[in-house]
Amino acid sequence: MDRPNPRILPYGTAAIAEAAELIRAGGVVAVPTETVYGLAADATNGEAVAHVYAAKGRPSFNPLIVHVPDRATAETLAAFDARARALADAFWPGPLTLVLPKRESAIAGLVTAGLETIAIRVPAHRAMRALLEASGKPLAAPSANASGGISPTRADHVAASLGGNVPLIIDDGATERGIESTIVREVFGSTKILRHGPITTDMIHAVLAKMLPHGIAHEPHLERFDASDDEPDTIEAPGQLASHYAPRKPLRIDAPRAAPDEWMIGFGPTPGDETLSASGDLDEAAVRLFDALHRADASDRAKIAIAPVPDTGIGEAINDRLRRAAHRD
């Protein structure tokens, strides 16, 4: 039996009011953020959170990010040290998620997957912020797509991936950033990047460096997660599974040219059926990445190839997504 199509409403007061009513009733709603579209539910309602896992087909050991309106609310849910506050002040609202020691709170246990930490973000996008205000709830919101698949940057991506598993999608056009938030774990004075994203390693490093006492020459301690690392024994945050963001078709990365049966996604001087950025702009490439993968997956070619992308700045995040998307068990 075919799943019913979700309702898609353009962003506006009426759409937010209807979405907030669904959230308060324990339902799920797809809503854009500045990174990708998220599948939002009341983070304090265990049944609602279970609906998110079920709709995505997501394993329950993979924790969710809790979206809140401001740092004051975040501090009621997690313990912040000076480094975490500095990062929050520098990048919130925005595409940074902090993984911090959790406090006792009303957040459902499913959200944190039994861990002693909680992942929190203060989003910048008008639709998510409006839904937070209208619902009055902290919102657990992973990407609004089937687990492991290509992340959605448009409302029609959500509809194609989840269909009737989500009753309502708020459409506010293509997302601004195009890839998921950077995730930084800040626990007991140790800072580690768990997922690369729009907030780059250099940007995080610059904030932490300002906290060093005057005259100390050594670098601030910052562990960098290597996207080629084996899958960790304990999943601390979204995006750490070895296979993730994957199209249905085989994907070949760092390809100088396409084979006859491949849809080629170019970058810079490497041409293709389409390009992430003809000028080699990494920010433009990040915005276009998932949209290009969706089109390639829908093409008449059996496979996908993508040109090399420099592993600097936001290129770290792009290559993290591509390595996982190309991984086959």
* Annotated domain spans of the chain: 1-241, 251-326
What's the pLDDT score for residue 269?
94
Give per-residue pLDDT as tens, 189-246.
Answer: 788 999 999 999 999 999 998 886 653 344 455 665 444 444 555 556 555 554 556 8
Could you tell me the two tokens for 286? 């990040």
* Average predicted confidence (pLDDT) for the chain: 90
What's the pLDDT score for residue 233?
52
Query: Are 141 and 39 within 8 A, CB to CB?
Result: yes
* Res. 147 pLDDT band, cuts 50 70 90: confident
What's the pLDDT score for residue 229?
47
Give per-residue pLDDT as tens, 99-129.
Answer: 999 999 999 999 998 899 999 999 999 999 9
Secondary structure (DSSP) of 15-26: HHHHHHHHHHTT
* Topology alike, domains 1-241 and 251-326: no
Can you give the pTM of this predicted structure? 0.89
Ranges 47-56, 232-241, 274-283: which has the least confidence: 232-241
The CATH number for 1-241, chosen from 3.90.870.10, 3.30.720.210, 3.30.420.40, 1.10.3720.10, is 3.90.870.10
What's the pLDDT score for residue 246?
81
Q: Measuring CA to CA, which residue among 322, 316, 51 is closest to residue 199? A: 316
What's the pLDDT score for residue 329?
59
Secondary structure (DSSP) of 109-159: HHHHTT-SEEEEE----HHHHHHHHHH-S-EE--BSSSTTBPPPSSHHHHH
82 forms beta bridges with: none
Max Cα separation, the chain? 68
Examine residue 93 and say whether the peptide bond preceding it is cis (omega within 30 degrees of 0): yes
Mean pLDDT calculated for residue range 141-149: 91
Q: Measuring CA to CA, which residue among 294, 327, 300, 256 is closest to residue 155? A: 294
Could you tell me the two tokens for 265? 């996604």
Does residue 294 carry a pLDDT above 60?
A: yes
Amino acid at 70: D
What's the pLDDT score for residue 114?
85
Please tell us whether the domain made up of 251-326 is placed in CATH 3.40.50.11030: yes
